[in-house]
């Protein structure tokens, strides 16, 4: 593509970023890259291999051994670690509890930012995360920053986990979201923040269709 379009979607945990990104990619025919899945995959690897986060050499060595790619299966983009599909293994409460801590590590961020840019090279993409519009693609065509009330995010995440058969209390879900918000917003490397030129969308009172239609309208206006 001569002039690829980059749509960067950032925001807090469980505010609907990934759902919106997937919906936009289907509507516009752009590639969807789930950066959150990439950080979850690294977290899965670190936990599986008992990597000591306080040992810089161990962290760097682990990062160098990680090989990720996406494949489309039955219309869904799924992540692979060293050739194996781990999509179902990274969507657990255990991974959710640890992902922000591991995502805050500079070697991890450098590795995945490089991969995200590599995956997006030469094509129009939609990517969601925490630092897409500020670090990964500071010159993105369109930047959206998604937020929602904590109670709304808690209810959404609680329902998602219960639908997957995860036995967890709503209070624990809320505590996890608060922990992730704090780590994501205060880390030294690429903290979560709204880019100066990003458009804010508070979807607390929106359904999925309303959010998509608003985002598409904003994208059309920005592109024109």
> Residues 22-35: pLDDT tens digits?
999 999 999 999 99
Residue 128 lies in a domain: yes
Q: Does any domain span residue 48?
A: yes
- Please report whether residue 66 resides in a domain: yes
Residue 127, strand partner residues: 8, 33
**CATH number, position 99:** 3.40.50.300
Q: How far lies 197's CA from each of 134, 144, 172, 184, in Å?
A: 10, 9, 34, 20
Q: What is the pLDDT of residue 2?
A: 63
42 occurs within a structural domain: yes
Give the domain range for residue 52.
6-223
Can you list the alpha helix ranges (DSSP code H) found in the chain? 17-28, 35-48, 56-65, 93-103, 106-120, 150-163, 170-186, 208-223
* Residue 131 φ then ψ, to 5°: -135, 25
pLDDT value at position 32?
94
193, part of any domain: yes
Encode 69-96: b = buried (16+ Cβ within 10 Å), e = exposed: ebeeeeeebbbebeeeebbebbbebebb
70 in Cβ contact with 130 (< 8 Å)? no
**Which stretches in the chain have pLDDT values below 50?**
none
Domain count, the chain: 1
Is 1 part of a structural domain of the chain?
no
Q: How far apart are CA 156 and CA 19, in angstroms?
A: 12
Residues 139-153 pLDDT 10s: 999 999 999 999 999
């Amino acid at each position: 593509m001569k002039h690829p379009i980059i749509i960067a979607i950032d925001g807090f945990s469980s505010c609907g970023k990934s759902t919106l990104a997937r919906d936009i990619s289907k509507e516009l025919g752009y590639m969807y890259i789930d950066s959150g899945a990439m950080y979850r995959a690294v977290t899965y690897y670190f936990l599986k291999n008992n990597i000591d986060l306080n040992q810089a050499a161990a962290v760097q060595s682990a990062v160098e051994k990680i090989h990720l790619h996406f494949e489309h299966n039955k219309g869904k983009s799924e992540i692979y670690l060293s050739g194996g599909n781990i999509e179902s293994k990274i969507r657990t409460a255990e991974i959710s509890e640890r992902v922000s801590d591991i995502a805050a590590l500079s070697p991890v961020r450098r590795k995945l930012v490089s991969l995200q840019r590599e995956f997006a090279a030469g094509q129009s993409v939609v990517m969601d995360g925490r630092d897409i519009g500020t670090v990964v693609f500071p010159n993105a065509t369109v930047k959206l920053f998604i937020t929602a009330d904590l109670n709304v995010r808690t209810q959404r995440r609680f329902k998602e986990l219960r639908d997957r058969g995860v036995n967890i209390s709503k209070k624990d879900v809320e505590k996890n979201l608060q922990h992730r918000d704090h780590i994501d917003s205060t880390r030294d490397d690429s903290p979560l923040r709204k880019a100066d030129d990003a458009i804010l969308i508070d979807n607390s009172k929106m359904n999925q269709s309303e959010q998509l239609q608003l985002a598409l309208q904003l994208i059309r206006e920005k592109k024109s």
